[in-house]
C-alpha cells in the first residue's frame, strides 16, 4: 500500500512538473512577391529608363522565423525569436553574413513586470511610431517610407548587441527602452545605439512617440566598427550619392538623433493618422557637415468590406543643414488597394509618385522611392506593383 501511495505521489509530481514547464516553438513567416513597374531609373550611362521587374517584399519584407516560450511559473516565461529575411526571387538571404538578419534574441517575459530581451532587435521608433505610419504596416510598407527611410520607420536596420525592456500594458499605456553596445574595447561609444519610446491607447485614439540615437567615430567605411550596434544598410541604400553602398547614414556621422511621434484615430471602418519625424546627422562622412530630415505624413485607411481595404498617404519631407548646393524637399503620394482571399492570403495593387525640388547641386536632387532598385535620373519617379502575400 505504501509502495502504491509513493508511486502515485511520484506520478503526480512528474505531471505537475510537466504542466509547470510547458513550452512551445512556432514556425512562422510571410512571403511577398510582386511585379513592379518603375518609370525612370538611372542606368550606367546616367540616362533614365523604365523597368519591369519581379520583386520580393514590395510591401513587407519576405521572412521566416521561429519563436518560442517556456512557462517558468508565477507568470514568468523564457522567450526567444529567430527571424530571417530573404529574397523570394532567388532564394538568397537578405544579408550575406547573417542567418537571422532581422531578429535574434532571447529573454524573460513577466505578466506583471514586462519583458527583458538580449540580442539583435528593433528600436523604439519601430516599436512605437512605425505602427502609426503606413510604411510600418501591412497597409503601405516599403515604398511608402520617407526618403531613404531616414527615420527607420520601415525597420531598414536593427540594433545588434542590444538589451531591451518592454513594459506590460498599464490601462493602455506602454513604454520601452533599448541600448546597443559598441562591443569595442576602449571605444564604448564607437557605433553604439540607444532608444526609448511609449504609446497610449484610449478608446479610438492611439498615440506613440519614440527616440533613437546612434553614435560612431567612423568617417570612412574602413573605420567602421563592424561589431557595433548598427551595421546594416538603410532601406534605399545611398549607393554613392552620399555614402558607399552597404553603410547606414548614422554610422558615418558622429551622431544621428531621430525623434518621432504619431497619432491614429479610428471612426467606424476608417482610420486617419498623422506622423512627424526629425533626424539630425552631425559631422557627416568626412565632410564635417551636419544635416537634418523632417517628415510630415498624413495617412488614411478605409475597410470598404471585410475583404477589401483601401489606404493612402501623403508625405512632405525636407532636408536642411550647412551643405549648401540647394536644399531639397520631397512630395510623395502613395496608395494601395488590398483584397483578402482569407486571413492568410491576399492580393494587392499599390503605387507611389515622388517629386523632389529644388535639385540645385545637391546629391539628393533626384527622386528615389524607397525600395526601388535605382534612383531616377530626374526629379520625378513613379512605381506601381501588383503582388501576392501569404502568411504562415
**Each residue's pLDDT tens digit, 36-95:** 999 988 876 667 789 999 999 999 999 999 999 999 999 999 999 999 999 999 998 887
Q: What's the CATH class of domain 23-391?
A: mainly beta
How far, in Å, CA of 349 to CA of 361, rounded?
A: 35
Q: Which residue has the cell 536644399?
A: 327
pLDDT at 9: 45
Residue 14 pLDDT greater than 50, yes or no: no
- 312 or 244, which is more confident? 312
CA 178 to chain centre: 15
What is the average pLDDT across 96-116? 94
> At 235, is the pLDDT very low, low, confident or very high (cuts 50, 70, 90)?
very low
CB 206 within 8 A of CB 132: yes
Res 1: pLDDT: 43
> What per-residue confidence (pLDDT) applies to 221?
59
Can you give the pLDDT at residue 240? Answer: 39
Is pLDDT larger for residue 276 or for residue 290?
276
pLDDT value, residue 223:
72
Give the cell for residue 178. Answer: 533599448
Identify which has the larger pLDDT, 365 or 80: 80
Residue with cell 510537466: 18
> How far apart, in whole angstroms, are the C-alpha atoms of residue 243 and residue 252?
8
pLDDT at 336 over 60: yes
| Residue 3 pLDDT > 50 | no
Q: What are the pLDDT digits (tens) for 116-174?
A: 999 999 999 999 999 999 999 999 999 999 998 999 999 999 999 999 999 999 999 99
DSSP helix/strand/coil, 9: helix
Is the C-alpha dihedral spanning 244, 250, 253, 259 positive or negative? positive
Among 367, 363, 331, 334, residue whose Cα is nearest residue 351: 334
Flag whether the pTM goes above 0.75: yes
90: helix, strand or coil = coil
pLDDT at 262 over 80: yes
| Percentage with pLDDT > 70 across the chain | 83
The pLDDT tens digits for 311-334 are 999 999 998 865 445 678 999 999
What is the C-alpha separation between 139 and 339, in angstroms, rounded? 11
Other C-beta atoms closer than 10 Å to the C-beta of 77 total 19
Where are any strands of DSSP class E within 285-328?
289-303, 308-321
- pLDDT for 243: 43
The domain locations on the chain are 23-391
Q: pLDDT at position 43, please?
A: 77
- The mean predicted confidence, pLDDT, of the chain is 87
Q: How confident is the model at residue 251 (pLDDT cuts 50, 70, 90)?
A: low
290, pLDDT greater than 50: yes
Q: What is the pLDDT of residues 178-205, one digit of tens each?
A: 999 999 998 898 999 999 999 999 999 9
DSSP tag of 21: T
- Residues 298-317: what's their mean pLDDT? 97
Amino acid at each position: 500500500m505504501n509502495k502504491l501511495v509513493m508511486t502515485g505521489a511520484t506520478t503526480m509530481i512528474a505531471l505537475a512538473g510537466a504542466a509547470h514547464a510547458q513550452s512551445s516553438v512556432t514556425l512562422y513567416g510571410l512571403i511577398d512577391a510582386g511585379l513592379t513597374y518603375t518609370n525612370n531609373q538611372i542606368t550606367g550611362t546616367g540616362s533614365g529608363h523604365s523597368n519591369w521587374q519581379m520583386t520580393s517584399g514590395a510591401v513587407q519584407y519576405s521572412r521566416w522565423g521561429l519563436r518560442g516560450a517556456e512557462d517558468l511559473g508565477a507568470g514568468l516565461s523564457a522567450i526567444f525569436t529567430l527571424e530571417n529575411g530573404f529574397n523570394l526571387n532567388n532564394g538568397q538571404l537578405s544579408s550575406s553574413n547573417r542567418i537571422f538578419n532581422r531578429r535574434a534574441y532571447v529573454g524573460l517575459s513577466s505578466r506583471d513586470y514586462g519583458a527583458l530581451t538580449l540580442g539583435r532587435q528593433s528600436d523604439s521608433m519601430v516599436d512605437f511610431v512605425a505602427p502609426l505610419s503606413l510604411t510600418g504596416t501591412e497597409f503601405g510598407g516599403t515604398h511608402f517610407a520617407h526618403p531613404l527611410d531616414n527615420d527607420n520607420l520601415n525597420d531598414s536596420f536593427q540594433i545588434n548587441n542590444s538589451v531591451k525592456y518592454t513594459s506590460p500594458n498599464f490601462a493602455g499605456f506602454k513604454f520601452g527602452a533599448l541600448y546597443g553596445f559598441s562591443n569595442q574595447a576602449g571605444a564604448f561609444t564607437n557605433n553604439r545605439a540607444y532608444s526609448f519610446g511609449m504609446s497610449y491607447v484610449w478608446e479610438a485614439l492611439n498615440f506613440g512617440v519614440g527616440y533613437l540615437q546612434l553614435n560612431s567615430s567612423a568617417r570612412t567605411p574602413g573605420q567602421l566598427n563592424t561589431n557595433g550596434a548598427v551595421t546594416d544598410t538603410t532601406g534605399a541604400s545611398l549607393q554613392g550619392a552620399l555614402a558607399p553602398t552597404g553603410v547606414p547614414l548614422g554610422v558615418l556621422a558622429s551622431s544621428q538623433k531621430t525623434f518621432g511621434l504619431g497619432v491614429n484615430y479610428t471612426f467606424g471602418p476608417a482610420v486617419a493618422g498623422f506622423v512627424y519625424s526629425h533626424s539630425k546627422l552631425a559631422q557627416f562622412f568626412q565632410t564635417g557637415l551636419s544635416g537634418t530630415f523632417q517628415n510630415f505624413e498624413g495617412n488614411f485607411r478605409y475597410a470598404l468590406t471585410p475583404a477589401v481595404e483601401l489606404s493612402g498617404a501623403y508625405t512632405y519631407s525636407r532636408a536642411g543643414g550647412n551643405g549648401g548646393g540647394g536644399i531639397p524637399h520631397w512630395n510623395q503620394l502613395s496608395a494601395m488597394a488590398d483584397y483578402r482571399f482569407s486571413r492568410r492570403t491576399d492580393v494587392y495593387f499599390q503605387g507611389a509618385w515622388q517629386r523632389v525640388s529644388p535639385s540645385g547641386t545637391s546629391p539628393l536632387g533626384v527622386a528615389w522611392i524607397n525600395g526601388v532598385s535605382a534612383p531616377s535620373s530626374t526629379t520625378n519617379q513613379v512605381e506601381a506593383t501588383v503582388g501576392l502575400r501569404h502568411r504562415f
